[in-house]
Amino acid sequence: MRLLDRYERPDRDSKRVVRVRLSEVPAYDADTHQAVNAALSDLAQQGLITLRWARHEIDNWLDKVDLNSDQVEVLYRLLKRTPHGDQIAALCGLIDVQVPTVDWQAQVFSWLRQQLDSHHSVAPFRLAEPQFNADLLKILDGLVQLHAPLLERTFSVQLFGNSKRFEDLRPAVLAVLRRHSPYAAEYSGDDDSLLRAHHVQRVPEYVLLKGPLTLELAGIKLALGAYSDGLSLPATTLRTARGIDCPARAVITIENTTSYHELIGLQTPEVLHVFTGGFASPTVIALLQAIRAARAVVPFYHWGDLDVGGLRILLHLRKHLGEVKALAMDEATLTQYRHLARPLTANDRDGLALLQTQTGLNDCGGVIAALLAADCKLEQEAVEPGEAIRLLNTSCSPLRTT
């Protein structure tokens, strides 16, 4: 295999002998060399390679092995290996029949051709596995056809008649999307949200809500305020909602489930609480946009982790909703709960430094600098929900509790 690898190098001088020195092969040692010698001698007898023995070590220690280039096709067949040129041609053939319908899909094909032309890696595509490549391209084409959420296994069955095939290719799909998807930067580090942005989800989405919100569903009005513990509504149901009205004093989106349940336990009936579970899904964004359109004067707040992820989620909300104020995500909160903070990783520091350049987080420059200076991050669960309400009351008119 090493000989063929060198034979296939694009920069190989065709006039030079293709050679491997056994000193470069770790597996060729005192325990294995006799067995290796026997296998290579068999290939040499077939005229496929030429053995070069170490001086005074004939039939004992090999120095070099040369490829007999005129017999390379025989070696390919013997090793059941497809020539590199044929692998490239097969992938090019797959690309040529694709018809991109969105820009990012066209970018994938353009990038693949550039990689092939420059003899660079095409990972996550696999040159030696044409069926893998065909299936991956089929998934990418399937993604651009989706306009409503679909479960991963259902998507997989529709494409392949196999509910598990998507799971097999999921890492490769995500690698492509991280490089080419228009949502990649927006959902950095959150694979599930990135797929959900392309309408593929692992489990059915339910949205947790509590507070003064009225929805018209299939002609029936649903007033969430009547439910003291809130409701969990299917995303499929929420997407059909009409006649949205939200007479709330404030709307709070909450990143993590523990903090959501603790906050709604404080019983602040004038607040609409919306659980995002990380990045807000397209369904949640659409609902919040409808609320803002119906009640433009209602202030929006977001309460999440005081770290790279939490600030990215805030930035994502602002991108789609406009003004969203950070709640309990400031320098004072960091100072107050500093004893519960955890150290930053190298990736955290790099991410925070990048966020300092984002115009959508200008008002968060102080807390980002404080996180970097203190070399720490703070989970949302470390902050008492009562503190979030206290900060909310200083930002808008005092809330009534029951």
pLDDT (0 to 100) of residue 12: 78
Cβ count near 379 (within 10 Å): 19
| pLDDT tens column, 143-154 | 999 988 899 999
From residue 222, give the alpha-carbon distance in Å to each of 36, 208, 217, 241, 313.
76, 14, 7, 10, 29
**Single-letter code of the amino acid located at 47:** G
Q: What CATH fold (topology level) applies to the domain 212-395?
A: Dna Topoisomerase Vi A Subunit; Chain: A, domain 2 (3.40.1360)
The pTM assigned to this predicted structure is: 0.76
**Residue whose structure tokens are 């196999």:** 162
Task: Collapse the DSSP code of 221 into the 3-class scheme (helix H, G, I; strand E, B; otherwise coil) and give the result.
Answer: strand
Q: Give dist(CA 346, CA 271) in Å, integer.
A: 38
Torsion sign, CA atoms 193, 199, 204, 207: positive
Pairing between β-strand 206-210 and β-strand 271-275 as defined by DSSP bridges: antiparallel
% the chain with pLDDT above 70: 99
Q: What's the CA gap between 170 and 163, in Å, rounded?
A: 12
Q: Cα separation of 301 and 319, whole Å? A: 14
Q: Which residues pair with 217 in a beta bridge?
A: 220
Instruction: State mean pLDDT over 192-221.
Output: 93
- DSSP secondary structure of 113-156: HHHHHTT---TTS-TT-HHHHHHHHHHHHHHHH--S-EEHHHHH
User: Tokens for 149?
Assistant: 């959420």
Q: Check whether 398 has a pLDDT greater than 70.
A: no
Between these two residues, 48 and 161, which has the higher pLDDT value? Answer: 161
Q: What is the pLDDT of residues 223-266, one digit of tens each?
A: 999 998 999 999 988 988 988 999 999 999 999 999 999 999 99
- SS3 state at 10: coil
Which residues make up the CATH 3.40.1360.10 domain(s) of the chain?
A: 212-395
In angstroms, rounded to a whole number, what is the distance separating the alpha carbons of residues 126 and 380?
41
Taking only the tens place, the pLDDT of each residue in 261-293 is 999 999 888 999 999 999 999 999 999 999 999
Binned at pLDDT 50, 70 and 90, residue 4 comes out as: confident
Judged on CB neighbours under 10 Å (0-12, 13-18, 19+), 386 is exposed
Tell me the two tokens of residue 143: 């993604």
Residue 400 has pLDDT above 70, yes or no: no
Q: Confidence class of residue 402 from pLDDT cuts 50, 70 and 90?
A: low
Mean of the per-residue pLDDT values for the chain? 92
Q: What is the pLDDT of residue 401?
A: 56
Interval 53-99: pLDDT, tens: 998 889 899 999 988 888 888 887 888 888 888 889 999 999 999 99
Q: Given phi > 0 = left and psi -120 to 50 = alpha, else beta, which region is 219?
A: left
What's the burial of 38, exposed, middle or buried (CB within 10 Å: 0-12/13-18/19+)? exposed
The 3-state DSSP class for residue 268 equals: coil
66 contact partners, CB below 8 Å, separation of at least 6:
17, 18, 19, 49, 50, 52
